[in-house]
Amino acid sequence: MNDPLGLTPPFPPGFVWGVATSAYQIEGAARVDGRGPSIWDTFCRVPGAIADGCSGDVACDHYHRWATDLDLVKSLGVEAYRFSIAWPRVRPDGHGAFNAAGMDFYDKLVDGLLARGVTPYITLNHWDLPQALQDEGGWGARDTVHRFVEYARHVHARLGDRVRSITTHNEPWVMAVLGHQNGIFAPGLKHRPLAMQVSHHLLLSHGLALQALRADGAKAELGIVLNLAPFHPATDAPADHDKARLEDGLLRRWYLDPIYHAKYPEDVLAELGPDAPLVQRGDMADIAQPIDFLGVNYYSRSVVSAAEPWDAQAAGHETTAMGWEIYPQGLTELLVALGRDYPVPALIVTENGGAFADELSHGRVHDADRARYLATHVAAVSDAIAQGAPVHGYMVWSLLDNFEWASGYDKRFGIVHVDYATQRRTLKDSALWYRDFLARQRQR
């Protein structure tokens, strides 16, 4: 396809292009080399929890195919690969001995990336809490905060000298709200006060981990990844505007105000009332650590109406296979607003991409819709930079088709197709577009 970016200014020098994955979604090998069960292993066995009834037991078998998968990463010409460490591989029972075999896998992965000239960006928690910790209250229990800090220090001691970037948590809102309030993600609970307590413990563990890693002499850039979306009122009615402001409070300000102002937003606390979390003295100061970067996962905007339910699809917008509206200008708006509202030193788009109805035929996947999605969102990032947003990188979600959580394997986000029966990988047209786009970037 032609280059909609031909007329955009070149990206700043040092801008980092990448692809992203997460452990449970690709690794498989669920019972290999001493890995313990995570809350997702458990949740996948709850009847009806996963659309196709499958689990991450095998997934993309990346645990065994990592070397050829890294060759694919290199072939794209990206600078960075963002992946997550499976906590239940590193410390299978949550608080006992660390499992050397589990850590060895990530050691090989990091060295394998460096050998291929690709920079590792690691995430410590992409949702796969050890089940043993869930059995003791999970993220609702304050002890889990300290177990996370121990795990973070252990991973940092092994890999910290070779990774450029360490993310504490991927999308705390998703873990807290989808996992403990809506119950659609592991651990499948439905209790708002618990969800808010979980969000507080995630933030606290983030802040304490940053302090611990810095005390340990961290050289890597340290930060957190949030799922964010601009909220647009469906109409001009004041009730819709108020709702949009509150939703932004729950998704964005709830996580960034503590980090930057050491307090939760007043309007959100007022709305939560008795559902607000218990905060101990000193917690807010512990959370308010400087971050080196904020990771932004962007998929769509959110149109908000006080009159539920509002259906964006019914409003006639083009959507991906997830039913999420395709709205690239929302990424510009979001990044510009973040740069204006908070003194973030660096924003990195840590995930962006779409699920589409791909068809593999004669060794090709003509996913022009995905390539267009990526190209228009990359252009939106360029617009944000032109408007002053400090964006330092962009990563495609995802390298591979993979286990899309409650949606199972039916929803494909990869720029590389995976045939699960044979584990054969095929570069989709979107991957070829990204590779060629990156090659052109380097020539400018």
What residues act catalytically? 171, 351
Sole window of 184-192, 260-268, 295-303, 382-390 interacting with ligand GBH (rule: CB under 6 A): 295-303
Taking CB under 6 A as the criterion, the residue among 41, 128, 171, 367 binding ligand GBH is 171
Question: What is the distance between the alpha carbons of residues 288 and 323, in angstroms, rounded to a whole number?
Answer: 36
**Binding of ligand GBH at residue 27 (CB under 6 A)?**
no
- How many residues bind ligand GBH (CB under 6 A)? The answer is 14
- The contact pattern for ligand GBH, residues 130-169, with x = CB under 6 A and - = no contact, is ----------------------------------------
Nearest in space to 394 (alpha carbons), one of 342, 328, 341, 302: 328
**Binding of ligand GBH at residue 299 (CB under 6 A)?**
yes
CB of 245 to ligand GBH, least distance (A): 17
Sole window of 6-14, 32-40, 99-107, 296-304 interacting with ligand GBH (rule: CB under 6 A): 296-304
**Binding of ligand GBH at residue 401 (CB under 6 A)?**
no
Nearer to ligand GBH, 25 or 181 (CB): 25
Taking CB under 6 A as the criterion, the residue among 297, 305, 320, 332 binding ligand GBH is 297
- The contact pattern for ligand GBH, residues 320-359, with x = CB under 6 A and - = no contact, is ----x--------------------------x--------
Nearer to ligand GBH, 137 or 408 (CB): 408
Question: What is the distance between the alpha carbons of residues 26 and 399, in angstroms, rounded to a whole number?
Answer: 10
Nearest in space to 406 (alpha carbons), one of 8, 11, 38, 51: 51
Q: Which residues pair with 170 in a beta bridge?
A: 225
Nearest in space to 27 (alpha carbons), one of 141, 143, 129, 105: 105
With contact defined as beta carbons under 8 Å apart, do 430 and 384 qualify? Answer: no
**Binding of ligand GBH at residue 174 (CB under 6 A)?**
yes
Element (H, E) at 393: strand 391-397
**Binding of ligand GBH at residue 170 (CB under 6 A)?**
yes
Subset of 78-137 contacting ligand GBH (CB under 6 A): none
- The contact pattern for ligand GBH, residues 212-231, with x = CB under 6 A and - = no contact, is ---------------x----
Task: Tell me the two tokens of residue 359.
Answer: 């068809």
Whether the CA torsion 351, 346, 328, 380 is positive or negative: it is negative
With contact defined as beta carbons under 8 Å apart, do 374 and 434 qualify? Answer: yes
With contact defined as beta carbons under 8 Å apart, do 243 and 233 qualify? Answer: yes
**Binding of ligand GBH at residue 22 (CB under 6 A)?**
yes
Nearest in space to 229 (alpha carbons), one of 210, 246, 248, 242: 248
Task: Please report, as a single letter, which amino acid is at residue 226.
Answer: L
Nearer to ligand GBH, 240 or 351 (CB): 351
Task: Tell me the two tokens of residue 422.
Answer: 């044979």
Task: Tell me the two tokens of residue 186.
Answer: 């592991």
Nearer to ligand GBH, 158 or 243 (CB): 243
Q: Which residues pair with 225 in a beta bridge?
A: 170, 295
Taking CB under 6 A as the criterion, the residue among 27, 358, 404, 429 binding ligand GBH is 404
**Binding of ligand GBH at residue 205 (CB under 6 A)?**
no
Question: What is the distance between the alpha carbons of residues 181 and 175, in angstroms, rounded to a whole number?
Answer: 9
Nearer to ligand GBH, 240 or 404 (CB): 404
Q: Show Cβ contacts of residue 309 under 8 Å, excluding neighbours closer than 6 positions.
A: none
Residues engaged in binding ligand GBH (CB under 6 A): 22, 25, 170-171, 174, 227, 297, 299, 302, 324, 351, 397, 404, 413
